[in-house]
Structures are given as structure tokens and as C-alpha cells.
Homo-oligomer: A and B are copies of this chain.
């Protein structure tokens, strides 16, 4: 019974996600779903990315948070439209929330939407929200063993951002183990190493998005 209900929820979510994906295609909007643990640097990455991409594209952000508007407030200064979804305890975003967030935007005047999902390495990966790509962000202090311990996200993602690379010297992150695990799990997935402090890798990340948008 529990399983049946869960399947119904997932099916309803996927149906709505397919509608969102069709709408985005129609409106020529590219949508990126950013997924990571709490504190891996999703908001910091957006702080580095928005000033570059908003010069060329009309960008909006959907902020998913259990509670508070803190991340949304950090991004306010960039002047892009932001829709904040407080999940009030829920551990992930679903497609029905994305549909509601869209009502805050003028979709005829957007090229690119970033969704910052709830900080959680498990649940958000299970829920299609109609995005074009899922991007997994892992930060070096979290450890090199996360790929195999939380495999669904790293299987589903189109890209891995290995963030806080500036902390590598201070933490016990074995790059060989990390890349080996990723090769075994999802051999073709690209990885971009970034630091939101020094700006390292941000150019590659921006380029990766632009190439994906052109496809």
C-alpha cells in the first residue's frame, strides 16, 4: 500500500515534469537543477555565475529551501527574477512547485532558469522537475567517498561540479578515489573543479552551460 501510494506520487510528479519540459522547449528556456548536500556551495556558485551569464542571457532563479529566504536574499543584488519556494519541512522540490514558481516569471522573456534544490544529497535526485540537466555539486570537505554512498544523483547528473577545490590542501580528499568511483558508476560524466573563492573553473562551468543551451 505504501509503495503503491509512492508510485502514484512519483507518476503524478513525472507527468507534470513532462509538461514543464514541453513548455520550456516551446519557450526556448534552458533549466538547470542544482543538487547537493547542505553547504556544498550551490548559492556561492550562483553568485559567481549570474554576473557572467546575465550579460548574455535573460536569467531567473528558483530557490528551494526548507525554511528562510536567506539564499534568495544573497542573490537579490544581481537583479534577476527570483522565485522562492519554502518547502516547510519537505526534503526536495517537486514539479508542481516549479509550475507554481513559473507564475512569478515572464517566461516569454527568459533564456535560462537555475533551480537551487533543497540541500540534500538523497531525495532531490528522485524527483524529475522538468529540468534539462541535473548538476551534482560535491565539495572537497565532504569527502571522496560520496559518489558510491549516494549513487543515484551521480548516476542521474549530466555534470559534477567538484567545489571548494581551494580547501583540498586542508582536507583529506583523495582525488584518485573520487575519480575512480565516478568512472565505475557513470564513466562518461564530465567533472569541473571549481573554487567560488578564487573563481577557478567558473569559466569552464559557464562554457559548459552555453554549449548545452545551444544543443
A interface residue numbers (CB < 8 A to B): 1-2, 5, 9, 37-39, 65-68, 70-71, 89, 91, 118-123, 126, 139, 141-143, 145-146, 148-152, 164, 167, 170-171
Q: How many Å from the CB of A72 to the closest CB on chain B?
A: 11
**Chain B residues within an 8 Å CB radius of A146:** 38-39
Give A126 to B90 CA distance when docked, in angstroms: 10
* Number of this chain's copies in the complex: 2
**Chain B residues within an 8 Å CB radius of A39:** 37, 141-143, 146
| A/B interface sample: 11 pairs, CB < 8 A | A2-B9, A37-B38, A66-B149, A68-B148, A91-B120, A91-B122, A91-B123, A119-B149, A123-B123, A167-B167, A170-B170
B91 touches A91 (CB 8 A): yes
